[in-house]
Amino acid sequence: MAGRLVLLCPGQGGQHPGMFDMARSDPAASSLLDAWFADPALGPLLRAAVEGEARFANAVAQPSIVAATLAMWTALGELPAPPALVAGYSIGELSAYGVAGALDPLDAVRLAAERALLMNACLADGQRQGMVALSGMPAETVEPLLQRFGFHPAIVNGEDSLVAGGPAEGRERLAEAAAAAGGKVTLLPVELASHTPYLQGAVAPFAALLAGQRWSAFTCPVLSGISAEGVEDAAKAMAELPRQIAEPIRWKDCMDACAEAGATVALELGPGAALSRMLQVRHPKIACRSVTEFRSLDGIRSWLGGQLE
C-alpha cells in the first residue's frame, strides 16, 4: 500500500540567514525569489530576514517565513506522490493555502505582510505583548496561572504543553510562578500575543483582504488551525483563516487529524523542524522529517520516494 504524505508549514521561530539557500538551488524557485526580492514592498522585508536580527520582528518574520516555505515547495517540484493534506502552524496556515494551490505564492507572501501590519496595529494602545511556552503542568494548574497574569491560551500543542499570550510585563512573573509550580517555561522571541483576544482588532480587516483575494481550486485539503477540520473551499478558508489571528490554535488536534487521515509520511517545508519533531513524538508511526535535515533537494526527493513507494 502506497504511503500518504502530509506537508507541514512552520510558524515563526525558525528563521535564519540561510533560510532561502536550498530553495535557490532550483532554477524555478530561485527565479521566484529574485522576483520577490525585487518587489518594492516585499524586497526590504525579505532582505531584512537574512541580513540582521530584524528577522524576528513580526513585520519581517511573517512574509519571510511564507516566502521561504513556498519557495521550498516550488523547489521540490513534482513529488513521488501528491500530498494528501497540508497543515500550517500559525502564519504557516497561510503558507498551507499556497501549497494547496488555493492562493498564488506571491499573493500569499503579500497577504502575510499585510496580516503582520494589521496585527501590529493592535499595539496602538501602547501595551507591549509577548508569548511564553509552558509545559509539564496539567490544564487545571495552568489555567489559573494564565488568568492571574492576564494571559490566554494561544496554541495547544499537547495535553500539558501550550503557548500563551498576554502583556509583556507579565511574562517573567508568569514564568516564575509556572516554574514554582513545577512547569517548564520558555520566553518566545515574538512581540505580539497572537491567537488571543488581544489581536481581535485585526480579524475583520484581514477578513476583508481575503474577501477581495483571487482564490483557485484546492489540490488537497488544508487543516484549519482553530477547528482541526479539512478545508477544501475558499468560503470556509475566508471564514476561519481570519479568526485564527485571535483564537487559539488546536495544534494537538491538528496532529491527531493527520494521523486520522492515514498519514504515513510528514515533511516539514521549513524553516525550522519543530513541527516534524512534535508530530514524531505524538505519532511515532508517522515518518517525520524537515527539509532542514537534508543537504540537497535530491536527498529530500530520494527519502520521500523510499517512504511513499
Residue 192 within any structural domain of the chain:
no
Can you give the pLDDT at residue 100?
Answer: 98
Mean of the per-residue pLDDT values of the chain: 94
| Alpha-carbon torsion (185, 268, 254, 260), positive or negative | negative
The verdict on 261 and 296 lying in the same domain is yes
For residues 305 and 267, give the distance between their C-alpha atoms in angstroms, rounded to a whole number.
Answer: 12
The verdict on 165 and 227 lying in the same domain is no
Can you give the pLDDT at residue 56?
Answer: 80
* Band of pLDDT at residue 286, cut at 50, 70 and 90: very high
Can you give the pLDDT at residue 92?
Answer: 98
Neighbouring C-beta atoms of residue 227, cutoff 10 Å: 17
The verdict on 101 and 237 lying in the same domain is yes
Q: Which residue has the higher pLDDT, 140 or 102?
A: 102
**Is residue 112 a contact partner of residue 62, using CB atoms and an 8 Å limit?**
yes
Q: Which three cell numbers stand for residue 102?
A: 488555493
Predicted model pTM: 0.95
End-to-end CA distance of the chain: 8
Domain of residue 13: give its range. 5-122+197-308
Please say if the pLDDT value at position 1 is more than 80: no
DSSP state of 160: T
The verdict on 93 and 209 lying in the same domain is yes
Number of domains in the chain: 2
CB neighbour class for 189 (10 Å; exposed up to 12, middle 13-18, buried from 19): middle
The verdict on 137 and 202 lying in the same domain is no
* Band of pLDDT at residue 149, cut at 50, 70 and 90: very high
Lowest-confidence pick of 45-59, 276-290, 291-305? 45-59
Q: Which three cell numbers stand for residue 128?
A: 507591549
pLDDT in tens, 202-223: 999 999 999 999 999 999 999 9
CB neighbour class for 289 (10 Å; exposed up to 12, middle 13-18, buried from 19): buried
Residue 68 within any structural domain of the chain:
yes
**Residue percentage of the chain with pLDDT more than 90:** 86
The verdict on 76 and 207 lying in the same domain is yes
Please say if the pLDDT value at position 138 is more than 90: no
Supply the CATH number for residue 155's domain.
Answer: 3.30.70.250
Tell me the three state secondary structure of residue 6. Answer: strand
The verdict on 44 and 95 lying in the same domain is yes
pLDDT in tens, 249-270: 999 999 999 999 999 999 999 8
Measure CA 309 to chain center: 28
The verdict on 219 and 90 lying in the same domain is yes
pLDDT in tens, 271-281: 999 999 999 99
For residues 190 and 255, give the distance between their C-alpha atoms in angstroms, rounded to a whole number.
Answer: 23
The verdict on 35 and 177 lying in the same domain is no
Q: Average pLDDT of 91-117?
A: 98
The verdict on 86 and 103 lying in the same domain is yes
The verdict on 56 and 180 lying in the same domain is no
The verdict on 115 and 216 lying in the same domain is yes
Q: Average pLDDT of 112-117?
A: 98
Please say if the pLDDT value at position 127 is more than 50: yes
